[in-house]
Structure 1
Amino acid sequence: MADLPVLIYDGDCGFCTRSARWAERLPVRMRVLAWQEADLAAYRTTEDRARHEVLWVAPSGRVFGGAAAVAELLKRCRLPWRPLGWLLSAPVVRTAADLVYRWVAANRSRIPGATPACQLPPEQRPGH
C-alpha cells in the first residue's frame, strides 16, 4: 500500500464533503478521496461499504469504517486530536461512538447543507 493513509468519503453528500474538507485541515498527512473517484478494489474495499460509511485505509492496507475510521484519523494527528482518537477507540466509548455515527449517517440528509443527492435512496444517487 501507499505511504500515506487514505480517507474515503461520499462525494455526493454535502455533509460528508464538508466533513472531509474539515479533516483536510487537521494536522495529519493523508490522501482524501471521494469514493466515486477512488479505485476501491485497490484499497481493498467495496462500493457498498463506501456508500454507507467513511473509510480510513491505513498504509498497511487495513480498512476501518464509520466511527473507527474517525478514531484512526484522529490517532494519526498531533495534539490535541490524538488523545480524542484513542478515547474513541476505548471499548465503552467506541460503542457510543458507533451509535452516534450510525445516527448521523442515517440522518445526513436532514443536516443543514445537505445536497439533494443526500436525500435520495443510495441506489438513486448520482453515479450509482
Structure 2
Amino acid sequence: MRNRPVLVFDGDCGFCTSSVRFLERVVRPGCEAVPWQRADLAALGVTRERARHEALWVTPVGRVYGGARAVAKLLLSAGGAWALVGALLTLPPVRWAAHAAYRLVANNRRRLPGGPAGCAALPADRTRRT
C-alpha cells in the first residue's frame, strides 16, 4: 500500500503538465504526481480510458476521484487556505459549477496554451517521484 495519494494526469498534454508543475510549485499538494503514460494503472486500479478522460486522485487505500473532485482532493491535501478552496469545491452548487468548468477545460485542453505543439511525451528522466 502507498502512503501518499497519487495524482494521475496526461503527461502528453502540455497544458496538463504545466498545470501540474504549477500546482507542485505553488500549492504544494501532499501527493505524488505521475503521468498516466508512465503510471502502473492496474496497480492504481485505474483504466487507461479513465486516465485519458480526466485527472485522477488515487488515495493510498485505492479510492479514485476524477476531474473536479480530484482537484478538490489535491487542494485539500495542501492544507491552509488551499484546503478551504478545496472544501468549497465539494459543496453544491460550487461542486456542480466546478464539474462543468473542469469538463469545459478538459474537453478543450488541446486548444489551450501548451496544446498540440506542446503535447509531446515527457522526457525519460521525468518519471515517478517520491
Q: Which range, TM-score by smaller chain? A: 0.7 to 0.9
Task: Determine helix, strand or coil for the equivalent of 1:102.
Answer: helix
Identity of aligned residues (%): 52
Provide the C-alpha distance between the structure 2 equivalents of 1:35 and 1:113, rounded to a whole number of angstroms.
18
After the TM superposition, which segments of 4 or more aligned residues of structure 1 sit over 4 Å from their partners?
A: none
Task: Please name the residue that 1:10 is paired with.
Answer: 10
Task: Please name the residue that 2:127 is paired with.
Answer: none
Aligned residues: 120
Provide the C-alpha distance between the structure 2 equivalents of 1:27 and 1:116, rounded to a whole number of angstroms.
28
Task: Determine helix, strand or coil for the equivalent of 1:83.
Answer: helix
Task: Please name the residue that 2:21 is paired with.
Answer: 21
Task: Determine helix, strand or coil for the equivalent of 1:64.
Answer: strand
Which 10-residue stretch deviates more, 78-87 or 20-29? 20-29
Counterpart residue identity of residue 4, structure 1: R
TM-score (norm 1): 0.87
Provide the C-alpha distance between the structure 2 equivalents of 1:85 and 1:93, rounded to a whole number of angstroms.
10
Provide the C-alpha distance between the structure 1 equivalents of 2:92 and 2:70, rounded to a whole number of angstroms.
15
Deviations 1:24-63 (A, max 9, x none): 1223331110000000010011000000100000112100
The correspondence of residues 1-128 of structure 1 with structure 2, limited to 5 A, is 1-25=1-25, 26-116=27-117
**Residues 9 and 17 of structure 2 are in contact (CA less than 8 Å); yes or no, is this contact kept in structure 1?**
yes
Counterpart residue identity of residue 17, structure 1: T
Task: Please name the residue that 1:121 is paired with.
Answer: none
Deviations 1:51-84 (A, max 9, x none): 0100000112100000000000101112110000
Task: Please name the residue that 1:122 is paired with.
Answer: none
Instruction: Indicate the RMSD between aligned Cα atoms, in angstroms.
Output: 1.6
Question: CA, structure 1 residues 66+102, in 2 after alignment: closer, same or farther (shift >3 Å)?
Answer: same
